[in-house]
Amino acid sequence: MVRLLIRYKLLSLLPCMCLSVGNSLLLAQEKQGISPKEIQGIRTVNDLQLSPDGHRVAYVLRDLQEAKSLKEGAQNRVWVVKTDGTEVPQELAKNLKNAGFPRWAPDGHALAFLADGVESSGNNEEPGNQIYLLRGESTMPERLTSTKGGVGWFEWSPDSKLIAFMTRDQKSETELKKESEGDDAFEVDRNLPFGQLCVLSLADRNVVQVPQQGFEIKTFAWSPDESEFAAFIVPTPILNDAFHPSLVVIDRATGKVVRTLSKKAGLLPTLQWSPNGQFILFNELSQPPPNSICSWYFATVPSAGGPVRPILGDQPFDVLDARWLPDSTHVVAQILANTQGYLANVDTQNSTFVKMTDVFTSRGDFSFSTNGRLTAYLNQTTTSPNDVWILASDKSATKLTNLNPQISRWNLSPVTVVRWKDTQDGLDLDGLLVTPPGFQKGHRYPTIVQAHTGDSAWSRGWLASWSDWAQLLASHGYVVFLPNTRGVIGRGVKFHDMGSNGGGLAVQDLLDGVDYLVSEGIADPTRLGIGGWSNGGNATMYAITRTPRFKAAIVIAGVSDFFSFVGTSSIGNPTIDLRFKGVGPYTDRGPYDKESPISNVAKCTTPTLLLYGAEDTFVPAGQGFQFYYALKRLGVEAEMVTYPREGHGFYEPYHGIDVQTRVLNWLDTHLLK
């Protein structure tokens, strides 16, 4: 979905090493290295919600230890913890499958959430997520909906008497019968199942559909008087259309658009009406498409219509999320500045802010909730994944959970910030350096460059997952370099807008960072590797088709040919806008071939491991096959693996373990010979 585009992550250096000493150090450290299975077993937490009275925080936990099998993986579970720290966290609704998306009623008397039915139920339940409710101190959830196709997401009305939710058009009985008989020809871009906005009354369980008006709603928010909805809308449910939403106001009774407030709403899902009803908080693109589809300002706009007013404007940082405070003037905002995140209290009238507390995050892995007096938020460190924290306005922050105590026994590596300049245009750049335990000045180490995903900056947080390899590799003796090249978030709109150059200067930024580490005596120039996922895979292929300096490469879901990508990817049209400023390849193919690694594949000599999701519609596996077969034809060592049932991200635990194992083995084979 569109929501996934925006995300977040972002070293004193040392000098030279003789190979004989270096290899013995590597072998010693390898025996103590973190294993892929240990990393895959980390408990993850997200979507925390502070109760209106500030007494409890609800959050969603995934724990692989509770999974029935590694293939099935962990399910979402809803937990609560008291903010005064007097009780251990408690799991809610243990008998429900994949419970998540907890939301407190504004009056604080109930907690609603989504779940996919009852565990081991023999009932003929409607499949898909449905809304469940826990009242007061009850531990027995009641099911509120039985909607065909399930519920996508929901939002409480301000008076706590109604719940609005999204569902989707379902096939008719006639259509299902034809399919069962094999009469199931599929017409592309026709008969599309649109989303439907519905309103549930808690008094009588009656569901009323807001009349459908022929557009797709991506996000919505109640007006304080409950007569209208603010919404991001797009023309159709086709993913290619989802990158150009408009912010509108919809009449609840008629479903008609009564006001259009912005035609260049951004990709972040944040949308909130101010408590006094006068303003709407959202994110707006810095320029109209196709000049920008990812660079944004957080902004307010009068709900009755009027000029959009950016919050904080052109600053050397980015606002990742924001929430209104009760006075309808201030918001709590989560900000990323270079490699460091923090929460801030922002005055929307005069665009000033006061820093509240540092927050450590990694690639979009953040969440916070506030009632004005208390703010609950996720926080991590370089040596610990996310936990739930609470911050009172007059006190220091308090950690409420300790979800991964086992990590205290791991041999984790220090993470520091490194800075350098691009040699072509002098642009100041930064990134992270993760050095092995026992790192010694004067020794050169095998060094791995991991290119960032999408526009997500590397930031000082937890760096261990199926797609973040820094702690895994460092524990096995590697230096890991995480460069923030031009176009990432965290340095303001102007820097972010440089991202259309996904190859070219962005890869030069990366290569200049490697040169800097070599000049400082840290990186061994004869043992360099490179890899990355998604855009990081693109950058990897671009680099290895232009320089032979890397002795091993790992590509996960990278684009090798932008010409074929535009016509086969579900996000081909946004790619035209983002990278090529709206100029399609059918009128001017030249820029597409110039950006495509396949155009220069004959220059590649780097042994390359390619990993793709078999069901990926963003970057189809065919992009990998093109590059793989080209390398094989050219006599360059290459391996390719596809993962059944996986899309652009990999979610099955076995697959996550397999990816990390292959990455480590590939690098060991080619860099530690």
Least confident range of 127-131, 273-277, 470-474, 530-534: 127-131
Q: pLDDT tier at 372 (50, 70, 90 boundaries)?
A: confident
Q: pLDDT tier at 15 (50, 70, 90 boundaries)?
A: very low
pLDDT value at 27 more than 80: no
Architecture of domain 14-38+409-561+610-623+632-671 in CATH?
3-Layer(aba) Sandwich (3.40)
pLDDT value at 407 more than 60: yes
143-167 mean pLDDT: 96
CA distance 339 to 108: 36
Q: Give the bridge partners for 132, in sequence order.
A: 113, 143
Instruction: Tell me what pLDDT residue 11 has.
Output: 25
Instruction: Tell me what pLDDT residue 120 has.
Output: 62
CB–CB of 124/105 below 8 Å?
A: no
CB–CB of 150/129 below 8 Å?
A: yes
Instruction: Tell me what pLDDT residue 5 has.
Output: 32
Q: Give the percent of the chain with pLDDT over 70.
A: 92
256-276 mean pLDDT: 92
Q: pLDDT tier at 365 (50, 70, 90 boundaries)?
A: low
Render pLDDT for 569-600 as a digit per residue (tens, 0 to 9). Answer: 998 888 787 788 778 899 999 999 999 999 99
Render pLDDT for 197-250 as a digit per residue (tens, 0 to 9). Answer: 999 999 999 999 999 888 999 999 999 999 999 999 999 999 888 888 999 999
Q: pLDDT tier at 563 (50, 70, 90 boundaries)?
A: very high
Instruction: Tell me what pLDDT residue 644 has.
Output: 97
Q: pLDDT tier at 463 (50, 70, 90 boundaries)?
A: very high
Q: pLDDT tier at 292 (50, 70, 90 boundaries)?
A: low
- Sign of the four-CA dihedral 357, 490, 362, 369: positive
Q: pLDDT tier at 662 (50, 70, 90 boundaries)?
A: very high
Kindly report the pTM of this predicted structure: 0.91
Specify the pairing of strand 142-143 against strand 130-135: antiparallel
35-56 mean pLDDT: 95
Structure tokens at 398: 């308090």
In three-state form (DSSP H/G/I as H, E/B as E, the rest C), the secondary structure along 112-130 is EEEECCECCCCCCCCCCCE
pLDDT value at 647 more than 60: yes
Q: Each residue of 403-432: b (16+ CB within 10 Å) or e?
A: bbeebeebbbbebebbebebeeeebebbbb
Structure tokens at 404: 């991964």
pLDDT value at 74 more than 90: no
Higher pLDDT: 222 or 68? It is 222
Render pLDDT for 433-449 as a digit per residue (tens, 0 to 9). Answer: 999 999 998 899 999 99
Render pLDDT for 295-318 as a digit per residue (tens, 0 to 9). Answer: 788 999 999 999 999 988 888 999
**CA atoms within 13 Å, Cβ hemisphere of 559:** 26
Higher pLDDT: 415 or 367? It is 415
Render pLDDT for 85-101 as a digit per residue (tens, 0 to 9). Answer: 999 999 998 889 999 99
pLDDT value at 7 more than 80: no
pLDDT value at 69 more than 80: no
Write the single-letter amino acid at 241: D
Average pLDDT over the chain, rounded to an integer = 90
Return the top range by mean pLDDT from 162-166, 283-287, 502-506: 162-166
Render pLDDT for 471-505 as a digit per residue (tens, 0 to 9). Answer: 999 999 999 999 999 999 999 988 988 876 566 88
CA distance 341 to 462: 13
Instruction: Tell me what pLDDT residue 73 has.
Output: 79
pLDDT value at 287 more than 90: no
Instruction: Tell me what pLDDT residue 59 has.
Output: 97
CA distance 521 to 536: 25
Closest CA to 483 of 459, 500, 501: 459
The DSSP call for residue 456 is: P
pLDDT value at 6 more than 90: no
Render pLDDT for 636-646 as a digit per residue (tens, 0 to 9). Answer: 999 999 999 99
